Amino acid sequence: MIVSASTDCFEDMPLLDVYERLTDLEFSNVEIAIRDGSIHLTPEQVLADEEKAIAICRDTHRMGITGYTVEIGATGEAHYDQFAACCRLAKATKVASLTVPSAELGTPFNEEVEHLRRLVAIATMESAVVSIRSQVGRLSEDPDTVVVLCDNVKGLGVTLDPSHYVCQPNGSRNYDKLYKYTYNVHLRDTSKDELLVRVGQGEIDYGKLINMLNRVNYDRGLCIQIQPFKDADHTAELRKLRLLLESLL
C-alpha cells in the first residue's frame, strides 16, 4: 500500500505550492483533484489543453501520483468528452486510478448504471479504472447500493472513505462488504458527529482497515484527505496521520 495526500488538503493554494508543501511534509505520493471551479485544475482546462495539463501534473517535485479525483459538472456529451480527456491525462502520467462521485440520492438506479458503464468503457480504453467515492447524500452512502452498482457495472470499484459510513445522519453503517471492491482509499479521522476530528480522537480503526485490505491483497493508495479545521494544527494533523499509516504498513 502507498500513503499519499490529496491536493484537496490545500484547495486554496496554487497547485505547484501544494506539491512543495506536501514535499516539505515528507509525502512521497500525491492524489490530484480535478473539478469544476478549482484553482488547481478543472476538467474543462484538461480538455482545452491536454499537453499543458500533463505538464502541470508531471511537475510534482518527484512525488508519485496515486490517482485522480475527477468531478465534472458538465452534462450530456460534454461530460464524457471532459472525462475522456482526464483519462488520457491519466495514461500520459502513468496513473490507473480515477475516482468519480456517484449520483445524488433519488437518481434512478438504471440511469446511474448506464452512466457508470459509459465511464468505465471510456477509462478502459486508456488502461484506467473507475471507482465511485463513498459519500453521504449520494447513492454511495449505502454500502449495499455500492455492491449492487459494482456488480452491475463490470470493472467498477469503490474509493472507500470510511468517514462517510461512520458519520451519517441515521447512524454508522458497516462497510466490511466493500473491501473486495476497493480500488482506492480516502482517509481522515471521524467521530459519529463530526466528519473531521483530530487524528486519534475519532472512530476510524486504521489497524483493522489495513488488515482487511491486506486480506483482499489491496496494494494501492491510502490517500489522506484532511482540510484545515477549527482548533487544529493542519500540518501537524497531516504529518500525524502519515506517520501512523506508515507505521502500520
Tens digits of residue pLDDT in 57-93:
999 988 999 999 999 999 999 999 999 999 999 999 9
- List the grid coordinates of 228: 484545515
Task: Please report, rounded to a whole number, the percentage of residues in the chain having pLDDT higher than 70.
Answer: 100
- List the grid coordinates of 91: 495514461
- In residues, how long is the chain? 249
In the block, cell 455492491 appears at 147
* Confidence (pLDDT) at 226: 96
Spell out the domain ranges in the chain. Answer: 2-248
- List the grid coordinates of 188: 481522515
* Confidence (pLDDT) at 231: 86
Whether 203 contacts 168, CB under 8 Å: no
pLDDT tens per residue, range 146-178: 999 999 999 999 999 999 999 988 888 999 999
- Cα–Cα dist 245/243, whole Å: 6
- Cα–Cα dist 231/208, whole Å: 28
* DSSP conformational letter for 169: T
Task: Please report, rounded to a whole number, the percentage of residues in the chain having pLDDT higher than 90.
Answer: 96
* Confidence (pLDDT) at 80: 98
Hey, which residues does 157 pair with through a beta bridge?
131
**2-248 has CATH 3.30.499.10 classification:** no
- List the grid coordinates of 26: 515528507
pTM exceeds 0.85: yes
> Given a cut of 90, is residue 15 above it in pLDDT?
yes
- List the grid coordinates of 129: 479504472
pLDDT band of 140, cuts 50, 70, 90: very high
* Confidence (pLDDT) at 221: 95
